[in-house]
Chains A and B, each alone.
Chain A
């Protein structure tokens, strides 16, 4: 049996979680950390533009430092993370420096590269493969604005790195579940044609890839979940037949039960009968989820088929600027007053000579998360939120200057402007497409510290 944990569900998750999970579960064989959401690469690209040595999740270096004492004390737990972002080599170099300083010179770092396909996309704007998978738009429609493009690698490069003796594997864009499937494939020596077993490991990866989301976090019955402040991060006990138990360390908060596991199984899933990973196409239609009590849930019965010939590509493109601002309004007719305040801001931007491409005025407390679905209540207090978007930075900057004047010209009871002027940020659009696998060879390098 193989224990694989996850202690980072996204870039910005708890910085203590990896160290804590390993301390709570010292017999963990692998620790996996997921840093890359759909548009994370665009943030990393912006950082790399300022400093070519950057372009990866810098938090990860701190995590590596926090794990160094355990490794020094003899822990054999291996670490797999897609923290490399756009610069896995740079990330590995920073980690090597940190580990050298910490006296962990016995470790070896595997680095996976080759997922950056920006140059290929740029050179073939009319290739139908590179159409936006969701909208069908041709790449040529945004070619002048394309910013990053990375193929989602699967388990193979990580398996190669582990086989070459890596203790830490740093990748760029990798399909999240493959971070977990790779060590299972390596440990059990599964062939690439053992689709059902690989499918089981991919499901395991999917279930734990978002960390605390399977241990009670964001669950429907969250109020009933005990001791969230001390929430445990998940690990799986992966069996050789592809089945697994999802659980968490004893003595931690949160809960793992049938409900939390089923919820996470269906997090951001399209067709449950055809979940496409670079390693296999997976069906959940024969899965069983069995709650064994004591925060242990057994998942069996995943079915897999051979993977497709293409990788999914996640590309990003420059898409103008946006900003959001909020003000609190208290008193009679609070919603009516808030709406009018919002309209005044937009009108003043217009009078200043800027026609905003898009704007949205919301009154928080009136069902803003389900706009149009709920009757507007007569509130005594609401938060006005205005969000705007425009292709031109100047228009959005002008908006950011028009909120504060409401403190004196707005309605009585307008308050809560302590956050200052709204920050103007660039927007990066998301462009999913496909690319033939044979066009994107991966490279694996394993280096000593």
Chain B
């Protein structure tokens, strides 16, 4: 079943030089398993390719249910040099959470967030 990444994860993004960093944090342990299997560096790079992402790296942090991504070039120059409205990658997290992802239907409830 297709859902949006933001249904099962939250995010924090920022800039590092001309690239962005992006932490994707699963709401639940089950959600982390799903993301670890499906949200690969390649998937992320393909999604952000129109913005210029290359050589995306993924770091797994199973103890905190986090996948941390480093995405070079995605800000087209970065903090002081990009001509884009989001030069500092502040909105990259929100952009990522709109990504459509496939999740097996029977797992969705176990992946969703509880309210804050």
Residues of A within 8 A of B (CB): 37-39, 42, 134, 218-221, 224-225, 255, 257, 259, 262-273, 284-289, 301, 316, 319, 322, 324, 358-360, 362, 364, 368-374, 385, 387-389, 427-430, 432
Contacts and interface: CB of A to CB of B under 8 A. Distances in A.
B116 A369 contact: no
A267 B90 contact: no
Interface residues of B, number: 44
Given A220-B11, A269-B23, A369-B91, A427 B61 contact: no
Given A267-B23, A268-B14, A371 B50 contact: yes
Contact of B18 (A134, A273, A388): A134
A273 B59 contact: yes
Contacts of A266: 12, 21, 23, 25, 66, 68
Q: Which of B66, B83, B84 has the most CB of A within 10 A?
A: B83
A255 B113 CA distance: 17
A366 to B, nearest CB: 11
A351 B93 CA distance: 40
A272 B59 contact: yes
Contacts of B101: none
Interface in B76-116: 78-81, 83-86, 90-95, 97-98, 113, 115-116
A286 to B, nearest CB: 6
B56 interface: no
A255 B95 contact: no
Contacts of B98: 370, 373-374
Given A268-B15, A370-B95, 6 more contacts: A134-B19, A220-B12, A224-B115, A267-B21, A284-B61, A370-B51
B91 A370 contact: yes
Contact of B61 (A221, A257, A285, A368): A285
A371 B61 contact: no
A245 to B, nearest CB: 17
A430 B17 contact: yes
Interface string B54-86: 000001010110101010100000111101111
A220 B113 CA distance: 12
Contacts of A263: 10-12, 23, 25
A369 B83 CA distance: 12
Contact of A427 (B66, B80, B95, B115): B80
B80 A368 contact: no
Nearest to B15: A268
A270 B113 CA distance: 26
B28 to A, nearest CB: 12
A274 to B, nearest CB: 9
Contact of A38 (B21, B64, B79, B94): B79
B63 A368 contact: no
Nearest to B87: A387
Nearest to A369: B91
Given A267-B12, A373-B95, A430-B78, A359 B25 contact: no
Given A257-B116, A270-B21, A371 B10 contact: no
Nearest to A263: B12
A38 B80 contact: yes
A221 B9 CA distance: 11
Nearest to B20: A268
A159 B78 CA distance: 34
B16 interface: yes
Nearest 4 CB-CB pairings of A with B: A372-B50, A266-B23, A220-B10, A360-B83
B94 A429 contact: no
A218 B68 contact: no
Contacts of A218: 12, 90
Contact of B16 (A257, A268, A387): A268
Given A371-B51, A373-B47, A373-B50, A224 B116 contact: yes
11 contacts: A38-B79, A38-B80, A267-B23, A284-B64, A288-B63, A364-B85, A373-B50, A387-B84, A389-B81, A428-B80, A430-B78
A271 B86 contact: no
B90 A319 contact: no
Contacts of A372: 50-51
A59 to B, nearest CB: 20
Nearest to B86: A369
A116 B11 CA distance: 36
Contacts of B86: 368-369
